[in-house]
Amino acid sequence: MNPAAGPADSVTVRRLAFDDPALPETWSRLLAVSDMRSITQTLAWQRTWWAAYARGTHLLLAADRDGETVAIAPLFCDEGMVFFTGVGEADWHDMIGAGHDPDVLAALLGAARDLTPGFLGFKLHFIPAFSRTAAALAIAAERLGLVRYELDSIVSVVVDIAADPDAVRGAVSRSMRKAENFFRAHGDLVVQRLTTAGEVLPLLPEFVRMHAARWRLKGVESDFLRPEVRTFLDRWIAVSAEAGWLRVVRLEWNGATLGMDLNWHFGTTQHSGQWAFDVRHADRSPGQILLRHSVLMALDAGMHTYDMGLGDQAYKFRLPNRTVTCPTWGLYPPD
């Protein structure tokens, strides 16, 4: 299959399946040289997401050049549109491997277009600005006769721990410490760091109840009340724990759960996930205590980066940070 024209003719594209025995080694090799190396780009995460959320047709495509696989496109199509696998759950998306090469990208996108019944376009979320894929998209779109649009943009907040760990440690040792001192002065506060599925899975119903109660106060229904979201969380907790990536902070106060923060370690990055606390104590800022101990966990583990995820919420700026712009790109046939 080789739908792209011009220089991309040297690139061939084939479909893959998650159960391909050669895929783990190939995926790992390509991820190591990718511009974006988030935990959501791992084969384990992608498999888990598809098992929980599968819709439309999976388009897992490999680009080969001179007999070697140089890139993988983790895509799917639904009702004429093509998306990244993981959309709606992942904070970061990108091609795996040499997706920044316009020849490779044109071949992959051309194949995805041709495999999509009633093709309408691509909607590719949250490709970080530092990835070379964005520039390659403009070239690939032109070759394929498509028009590229920036549909939306959001920032992700990242703490560069390695740049100044003392500044990061200092940021969690002032007002955040005061919030913690109240609970220590008025009862028995225990901070737990959990890493196994056996520890975390039994706590998830309580976590979901706290999350739902917190968002209910804002007039919003918690995503975790949707069956597929809860299914994904349960499976991902088990998969990530087995891989050695799971890191959860639990606050226990006077024998009851005060709050929980879900995190994962991958490479030298701690990825922050969802968190929840007992809303009966919201006026005492248990969220600050969770953030403090999540950051301390990253520091103690020697993480270089603490990825706080999409959005510019005020609490994230209590720490030394930088923001990464993450546009959503649309590629459509001309009107």
DSSP notation for 199-237: HHGGGHHHHHHHHHHHHHTTT---GGGSHHHHHHHHHHH
Give the residue from 175, 205, 195 showing the smallest Cα distance to 288. Answer: 175
Q: Are residues 123 and 187 in the same domain?
A: no
- Based on the fold, state whether residues 236 and 136 are members of the same structural domain: no
**pTM, two decimal places:** 0.95
What pLDDT is stored for residue 9 in this prediction? 59
Do 169 and 315 fall into the same domain?
Answer: yes
Same domain flag for 57 and 170: no
Confidence of residue 3 (pLDDT cuts 50, 70, 90): very low
Q: How many domains does the chain have?
A: 2
Q: Check whether 5 has a pLDDT greater than 60.
A: no
Same domain flag for 235 and 283: yes
For residues 152 and 326, is the Cβ–Cβ distance under 8 A? no
Tell me: the pLDDT tens digits for 203-253? 999 999 999 999 999 999 999 999 999 999 999 999 999 999 999 999 999
Alpha helices in 88-203 (DSSP H): 102-114, 133-143, 165-171, 175-185, 197-200
Tokens at residue 316, please?
Answer: 């994230």
Rounded Cα distance, 44 and 233, in Å = 13
Alpha helices (runs of H) in the chain, residue ranges in sequence order: 23-32, 43-53, 102-114, 133-143, 165-171, 175-185, 197-200, 204-216, 227-243, 286-300
Check whether residue 99 and residue 67 sit in a common domain: yes
- What are the tens digits of pLDDT across the range 71-123? 999 999 999 999 999 999 999 999 999 999 999 999 999 999 999 999 999 99
pLDDT of residue 2: 39
Tokens of 3: 């739908």
| Residues 70 and 32 placed together within one structural domain of the fold | yes
Q: Which of 90, 93, 163 is nearest to 319 (CA)?
A: 163
CB 308 within 8 A of CB 264: no
Structural domain including 277 reads 165-319
